[in-house]
Amino acid sequence: MKEFFKVTDLDAVFAYLNHFSAVAAEIINIEDSLGRILAEDLTSDINLPDFARTTRDGYAVRAASTFGASEGSPAYLTIKGQVGMGEVPSFSINSGEAARISTGGMLPEGADSVVMIEHTEMIDATVIEAYRSVAPGQYVITVGEDIQQAAIVLTAGQQIRPQETGLLAALGCETFKVYRKPRVGIISTGDEIIPIQTAPKLGQIRDINTHTLFNQVRQAGGMPRSFGIVSDDYDTLFERCSQALQQSDLILISGGSSVGTRDFTIEVLSNLPDAHILVHGISISPGKPTILAEVGGKQFWGLPGHVVSAMVVFAMVVKPFLYKISGRTDLAIETIGIKAQLARNISSAQGRVDYIRVKLVNQKGSVWAEPVLGKSGLINTVVKADGLVAIDQHTEGLDSGAEVTVIPFD
């Protein structure tokens, strides 16, 4: 039995993350911010809020004026005025006084808390009864309680979720600097592969990988672009790779990394200018024949031809590398997955990481991970699956009922 390539352990593959650096930054508008990666630290130039505001509808008071108040023995307070929303009160509050205020309103000078409207009764136009005592600071957001002036509130490399958008809005950042989305070129190889618009003749198969990888790239924050299908011909492949290299930050080729007669990927990658083959084979399954080359500082990935293998390698191996050039600082695929119980025995080979496709099922209060069996050429098996379970290289297999961590598909 021949050894066709010397496989690299997954840890050693990830050590190459350091070889690649982030793409350039660009300025975007807050409306286009979802999922983008900040390219600058953001320091607040204000206190948020920059005035003490109430979180309830009621009366602004000095807390001491309400001490001991109850239903049986209310505190009587003189109405000093009313605080208009968005306005600075023109009066101050002394002991025994109160001012009508609505949620979000600015506390008048002298007031330190708010009695909720539900706990008061108007006696006449000038006096209220308060039935509850409040503590100083109660129902009040103090100056800088949300964000302190000069604090770093977001850091470069952070991904923008809806709540970070809210924070950017609070600080008045209508535009800001993010990393541009990495351009990812996708090439399919194989004489039997045809464009999806074409009716396959016997022996031909439509190009599944390009479209699957296209949306995996998009989901991971990249800008996918298909460079089409290349037949198993050295010159054509070399030319197409050179073209993709010029127009992309990272390239994915699928199909050409097996040991077939017409597989030229490794030759092409070796002959591109300034090329270094970093990885030729990874100790994972599926996905063993994966290639990683560094070509002029860019990543060139040779992915397996089977769609499940290509998907798994993208999800578990390529994604952190795409994240790296996206400027992200959180490169981990998934530090915290979904705990589940394995629904049947699974065997696994030692010396490699096995990725098992699983479907999640909620039954009798427990979450079960049901392995979806099937060859890695079957797209249907991943359509049925919700995620992957990794079985590490030191484990020979797992028994039914074992606790596993499921890395969900995005």
CB 321 within 8 A of CB 298: no
Residue with smaller CB distance to its own copies, 200 or 397 = 200
Q: Which is nearer to its own copies, 106 or 275 (CB)?
A: 106
CB atoms within 10 A of CB 70: 11
With respect to its own copies, which residue has the nearer C-beta, 50 or 95? 50
Nearer to its own copies, 32 or 396 (CB): 32
- What's the closest the beta carbon of residue 21 comes to its own copies, in angstroms? 27
Residue 372 C-beta: closest distance to its own copies, Å:
11
Tell me whether residue 133 or residue 209 sits nearer to its own copies (CB atom): 209
Minimal distance in Å, beta carbon 276 to its own copies? 26
Backbone angles phi, psi at 399, to 5 degrees: -85, 155
Q: How far is the CB of 129 from its own copies (least distance, A)?
A: 13
User: Closest separation between CB of residue 198 and its own copies, Å?
Assistant: 8
In the complex, the smallest distance separating the C-beta of residue 322 from its own copies, rounded to whole angstroms, is: 14
Shortest CB 311 distance to its own copies, Å? 7
To which residue do tokens 């923008």 refer? 160
Q: Which is nearer to its own copies, 46 or 278 (CB)?
A: 46
Q: Which of 401, 392, 347 is nearest to 370 (CA)?
A: 401
Nearer to its own copies by C-beta: 87 or 396? 87
